[in-house]
Amino acid sequence: MYRRYSELTISTSPSPSTTQHTVRFSTQIIDTTVTNEASPAEDWIRTVRAAHWGGRIIVGLDCEWKPQYSRWAHNKVATLQLCVGNKCLILQLFYMDYIPQSVKNFLNGNDVILVGVGVDGDVTKLRNDYGLVCGESMDLDQLCRDYLGLLGQQRLGLKGYAREILGLNMEKPKWVTMSNWEVRTLREAQVQYACIDAYVSYRLGCKVLGRN
């Protein structure tokens, strides 16, 4: 039986540039930091590295950007989401004065595997938009298809793989998908959406790569 999340709530702190959120998804509570400042991003990376000292770190990666309604439009990545375990970072790249070296080192680290469905496109856009070079990345699409024994060109996408492999039912309303990700203060629904995408990417990566 598929597990649905029955409650998805967020509590925020009053800081204008950095907010702490509690995202409830299925039975999990995901501690989520939303920021456009360097220091909280560095703290998040420091915490993750300390918890995984000496081992390779699977990191769920996802990006969001403002919808592009013409072929000539080019909207830069607005948010970069990273998730390890039950800790998620939503980095508002669009408003950052500079990207700290610790973030660059983390994305390009030899001990980090960046995973997601379609992650190669996100990695390419991060490089083109911000010069961010990612190290080892792994698109989970083929691995998920192999795990499920899918034949031909059948692809289920992140939502379908979450349902079939993890037993998790994601809600991906189009009005959130196509919302303005360049707003300085993200709406609660955007924070939920961005966090859960990265979290599910992390969980799928651990499952198909055989990691606990």
Model confidence pLDDT, tens digit, residues 60-91: 999 999 998 777 778 999 999 999 999 999 99
pLDDT of residue 212: 56
Torsion of CA 109, 113, 115, 121, to 10 degrees: 40
Across residues 12-30, what is the average pLDDT? 83
Number of Cβ atoms within 10 Å of the Cβ of 46: 12
Flag whether pLDDT at 58 surpasses 90: yes
Q: In the 8-state DSSP scheme, what is residue 108?
A: T
Using one digit for the tens of pLDDT, what is the confidence trace for 92-129? 999 999 999 999 999 999 999 999 999 999 999 999 99
Alpha-carbon distances of 120 from 15, 18, 62, 124, 157, rounded to whole Å: 33, 28, 10, 6, 14
Flag whether pLDDT at 154 surpasses 90: no
User: Average per-residue pLDDT in the chain?
Assistant: 90
- Min mean pLDDT across 88-92, 94-98, 141-145, 147-151 is at 147-151
E strand spans, the chain? 3-4, 18-25, 28-35, 57-65, 77-84, 87-91, 112-116, 136-139, 168-169
Across residues 155-166, what is the average pLDDT? 95
The Cβ-side half-sphere exposure at 136, using a 13 Å CA radius, reads 9
Beta-sheet pairing, 87-91 with 77-84? antiparallel
Q: State the sign of the Cα–Cα–Cα–Cα dihedral 57, 36, 174, 127.
A: negative
As a whole number of angstroms, the distance between CA 43 and CA 21 comes to 16
Fold of 3-208: Nucleotidyltransferase; domain 5 (3.30.420)
Flag whether pLDDT at 56 surpasses 70: yes
Residues 6+ apart with CB under 8 A from 95: 36, 184
Across residues 31-51, what is the average pLDDT? 95
Residues 6+ apart with CB under 8 A from 196: 23, 25, 30, 170
Using one digit for the tens of pLDDT, what is the confidence trace for 181-198? 999 999 999 999 999 999
The Cβ-side half-sphere exposure at 187, using a 13 Å CA radius, reads 10
- In a 3-state reduction of DSSP, which class is residue 124? helix
Residues 6+ apart with CB under 8 A from 52: 84, 111
Torsion of CA 14, 31, 84, 171, to 10 degrees: -100
Beta-sheet pairing, 18-25 with 3-4? unpaired
